[in-house]
Amino acid sequence: MTSPHGPAPHGPARDAAFILLPPAGKNRVPYPACSFVAVALIMYGSSWGNDAGVSIAFAGLGVMVCGGVAYVVEDFRRAARSTHMRVDATGVWLRNKSGMAVIPWHSLAAVGLHWAKKRGLPTYTLELCPAVAVDPGDHVLGPWVRDDEPFRPGLPRLRYRIALDKPTRSRVKIHAAVQRYAPHLWSGLTERERGYDT
């Protein structure tokens, strides 16, 4: 059977939900972690009450400022690279440096959010379980294909797993979009083992 996943003759709708994505396989220390280190340095330095303590506190402030600037710059660079997801009535549109492709709602058997703690912070992934064949070699969608145990009977091992950046904002947008366009596919939020393959 020919998979319906892939390029479509038209693009996503103008009112599609827009979500920036981290490039596949790229890990970074999130800004909240930088902020935690910076605050700890500031508090530790302040407790000394001498010139050395002031230096430590200023170092913490520097970490916070530089971390914030780096975070903003990376967001602009990622936006320029256009690695993102759009969700509309047709399905889930994914764009990376290789192009754009769509995973239609009618080709899916289930949609859910999985999460686990990574570096002490929650990491979320969108799980798209297909009802049709998946091509791991697809030049656009291939980087998001994962082989994992089905999270309910009858689902395939191969599925699309999309790591989310800014997890709180992203998961709210995704949940709202799925409830709007394909509520029958929603399988909910599932906690995974620490360090599962994102």
**Of 172, 162, 14, nearest in space to 95 by CA:** 162
Q: What is the pLDDT of residue 128?
A: 97
Alpha-carbon distances, residue 183 vs 22, 110, 176, 179, 188 (angstroms) = 26, 10, 9, 4, 10
Per-residue pLDDT of the chain (198 residues; tens, 9 = 90+): 334 565 555 789 999 999 988 765 444 445 455 555 555 555 555 556 656 555 655 565 666 666 555 555 565 555 445 689 999 999 999 999 889 999 999 999 999 999 988 777 788 899 999 999 999 999 999 999 999 999 889 999 999 999 987 767 888 899 999 999 999 999 999 988 877 776
Q: What is the pLDDT of residue 29?
A: 44
Alpha-carbon distances, residue 39 vs 3, 34, 43, 50, 56 (angstroms) = 51, 9, 6, 18, 11
Question: Residue 8 corresponds to which amino acid?
Answer: A
Q: What is the pLDDT of residue 71?
A: 59
